Amino acid sequence: MLAPIMFNFKKISWALLYLAAFIPAGFALYFFSEKNMLPALAASLITASIYTLLVIKNLRFLSPLSFFTFPFIFLLTLGIISDGIGEFSTNAFAEKASLLTISLFSLFSLINSVHWAKTKRGFKKLISLIFIFLSVLILVIFGIGSPTFYQNFVYTRANILILLLLSIFLIIKKKRLWGILGILLSIGILLLSASMFAEKTYPLDSEEQKKVVAIVDPLAKEMFGYYNKKDYGNFCNHCGFVLKNMLEHKPIEGNRETIGPYVYFDRPSNVYRRGGRYGVEYPVKFQNAEDLLYLTFIIENISSDPIVYGFSLGSF
């Protein structure tokens, strides 16, 4: 008599645990909607852990239910993050939240799917292989892609880390060929995504623009004050080593003789970030030039002593 009672108690406990997973899931949705990242991720982690535990326990009904409930919760979370419009790049927080949620889903989806692939047969094994393929595809896509907001680039690295961990796991489990291919793929994604990020131009928000312009404005006027005075020795006091070396081989005196001294700088027409550098583009009036020219300063850091990486002069 006692055994059936204990058996039913265990079944009820697992069922209650399944239902309890909706509580942190609800908190996660709430915190994401309130743009409160850490509590949202913590609640999402608890939910994912509960579903994974239920999947691994191989319960007859609750394990498959948990396996398919988890993607549903994931899609619902992305819907909340995107405000129901399907766009994750509307602001920096939404993009960051979506990238971290996708990484979390991919990790636990792989854990669940690999477990099913090892322990199930037939239809469930097929489903697990499909989920493994989709999870890896998601990791590759979001590992390679450059985010809309440059500060979120670091969160794309989580996808590469998960892919690398999967590859190491495969090697440990004697799937050396797949593991080695996974490591090579991870390295390739790492290099390709870094290259794409370095080439992408990111606009800055108004506060960042003000901060960058406040640093570059006096720097530009100081440099071209020396330019007007023909003091080429001090012209590049703030230049980096590479730029100084370039100006030694191709001095700026020739430009000075052609277009004359500068008359005035207009307000910056463009402020952006590319890779780890900032660019500020000024419309400039030179004495001998009929039209405004634009002068772009590229600096390597925002500080009280910035380093000028490069500058270019061209027509509109």
Task: Please tell me the predicted confidence (pLDDT) of residue 2.
Answer: 44
pLDDT greater than 50 at residue 292? yes
Does the pLDDT at position 85 exceed 60? no
211-250 pLDDT, tens digit per residue, is 888 888 888 888 888 888 888 778 888 788 777 777 665 6
Which residue, among 101, 26, 21, has the nearest Cα to 67 in the 3D structure?
21
The pLDDT tens digits of the residues spanning 147-200 come to 888 888 899 999 999 999 999 999 998 889 999 999 999 999 999 998 888 888
The 3 state secondary structure assigned to 139-194 is HHHHHHCCCCCHHHHHHHHHHHHHHHHHHHHHHHCCCHHHHHHHHHHHHHHHHHHH
Report the predicted TM-score, pTM, of the whole model to 2 decimal places: 0.79
CATH code for 206-315?
3.10.450.540
Contact 283, 302 (CB under 8 A): no
Q: What is the mean pLDDT of residues 48-76?
A: 92
Q: Which tokens belong to 146?
A: 């450059």
Integer Cα distance of 191 and 148 in angstroms: 19
Q: What pLDDT, on the 0 to 100 scale, is given for residue 172?
A: 92
Distance of alpha carbon 52 from alpha carbon 113, whole angstroms: 10
> How far apart are the C-alpha atoms of 150 and 196, rounded to whole Å?
12
pLDDT digits (tens, 9 = 90+) for 239-287: 887 777 776 656 676 677 778 888 888 888 888 888 778 888 888 888 8
Strands 201-203 and 270-274: antiparallel
Instruction: Provide the residue ranges of all domains of the chain, joining segments of one domain with +.
Output: 2-199, 206-315
Residue 4 in this model has a pLDDT that exceeds 70: no
Give the tokens for residue 242: 């590479």
CA atoms of 103 and 231, how far apart (whole Å): 54
215 class by beta-carbon count within 10 Å (0-12 exposed, 13-18 middle, 19+ buried)? buried
pLDDT band at 89 (very low <50, low <70, confident <90, very high): low
In the beta sheet, which residues pair with residue 299?
278, 308
The pLDDT value recorded for residue 161 is 95
Greater model confidence, 33 or 276: 33
Phi, psi of 218 (to 5 degrees): -65, -30
Residue 79, pLDDT above cutoff 60: yes
- Mean pLDDT taken over the chain: 85
Q: What local confidence, expressed as pLDDT, does residue 133 receive?
A: 95
